[in-house]
Amino acid sequence: MPTISQDKITLRKGDDFHLHLRDGGAMQSVLPHTARSFARALVMPNLKPPITTVAEAEAYQKRILNALPERSVFCPLMSLYLTEKTTGDEIRRAKQSDSVHAVKLYPAGATTNSESGVRTLEALYPIFETMQEVDLPLLIHGEVVDRDVDIFDREKVFLDVGLLPLTKEFPELRIVLEHITTKNAVEFIEAAHPRVAATVTAHHLLLNRNALFEGGVRPHHFCLPILKRERDRESLVRAVTSQNPKFFAGTDSAPHAQHAKESACGCAGIYTAFGALELYCEVFDEAHALGALEAFTSEFGARFYGLPLNEEKISLVKKENPIPISYRMGDDFVVPLRAGGNLKWRLEERD
């Protein structure tokens, strides 16, 4: 049980079940931000080129472990990038490896580095069959890529044409609909069979689509799936504070170099790893639901993935905490969410 007073909460250390760490110098820069407040993170495989084999995932995991700051205890959980060439043997190898915990499906062209993704779901049904048989979770970027579909409707349409048939065809397959953004998705997950769950990001809980155009175009609020309406945001807040084990934390912290975001064609992705736990805490506090935070960040996701709960405890205090205008990221800079503003909660650092 978390201990909670008005200005302080102590809870079990949690996990981020959707994180982009990138590689090389960029990874070295952003990794300590996550390792500071989460015990484990499920690392997304959309590198260039993507991580498609267990051998590549293991090598990537080693690079992450080697980049950790001294004395930092953090476990990267790996995922594979599903392509039309993924084999059943690779799925079985993944299930047997200690490193890989899930397989990620990106509809081709849906988001950053998704060019090698999947064009038709039906072509992958034999792979889903194997994943269902060995019980390896399928993670889905749930948007259609049809240019005729309005960008704000792409998640909703995917639920109807992609996810509903999939959950019917594979009732035992563990599925996570990643970074959900709409009331439709909340209702879909609530109604789906018990093996279907969803991650929710801090930024989709904090912002609605007005944030994209506050006094001008705001590239640092652009991510995919794109921010939605206020009623969608409210529905997400209700879902995560409802203590339903189908909804758990996945930040989708997605760092891009400042120049790649502040461009005539800026990349999708919001950087939150520097303060993701504090941001989630703010959401739950403002919803008068701090008592539900620990289950969301530290229990439901671990249970879904069959992982032990973390033993370590951490505390957050309600104290303003300034956010820099940028952080170094390899040879570049990354602009965090709410750059130059404040976090409303602060992690109590231990020595």
Q: Provide the b/e sequence for 223-255 (b: ≥16 CB within 10 Å).
A: bbbbbbeeebbebbbebbbeebebbbbbbbbbb
Q: Which residues, 6 or more positions from 235, have their beta carbon under 8 angstroms from its beta carbon?
A: 182, 183, 186, 187
Q: Which residues pair with 248 in a beta bridge?
A: 199
Pick the piece of the chain touching Zn ion (CB under 5 A) from 9-17, 57-65, 246-254, 315-323. Answer: 246-254
Catalytic residue among 89, 252, 285, 332: 252
Residue 20 CB, shortest distance to Zn ion, in Å, is 6
Q: Is 252 in the site for Zn ion (CB under 5 A)?
A: yes
Residue 116 CB, shortest distance to ligand NCD, in Å, is 13
- Which of residues 183 and 203 has its CB atom nearest to ligand NCD in the complex? 203
Residue 252 among the catalytic residues: yes
Q: Is 143 in the site for Zn ion (CB under 5 A)?
A: no
Cα dihedral 39→114→236→252 (10° resolution): 30
Residue 269 CB, shortest distance to Zn ion, in Å, is 8
Residue 199 CB, shortest distance to ligand NCD, in Å, is 10
* Spatial separation of the C-alpha atoms in residues 227 and 223, rounded to whole Å: 7
- Which of residues 111 and 167 has its CB atom nearest to ligand NCD in the complex? 111
Which residues of the chain form contacts with ligand NCD (CB under 6 A)?
20, 46, 111-113, 141, 223-224, 252, 254, 268-269
Cβ neighbourhood burial of 117 (10 Å; 0-12, 13-18, 19+): buried
- Which of residues 279 and 316 has its CB atom nearest to ligand NCD in the complex? 279
Q: What are phi and psi of 101, to 5 degrees?
A: -120, -5
Q: Is 232 in the site for Zn ion (CB under 5 A)?
A: no
- Which of residues 86 and 111 has its CB atom nearest to ligand NCD in the complex? 111
Instruction: Write down the number of H helices and E strands in the chain.
Output: 13, 14
Which residues in this chain contact Zn ion in the complex, by CB under 5 A?
252
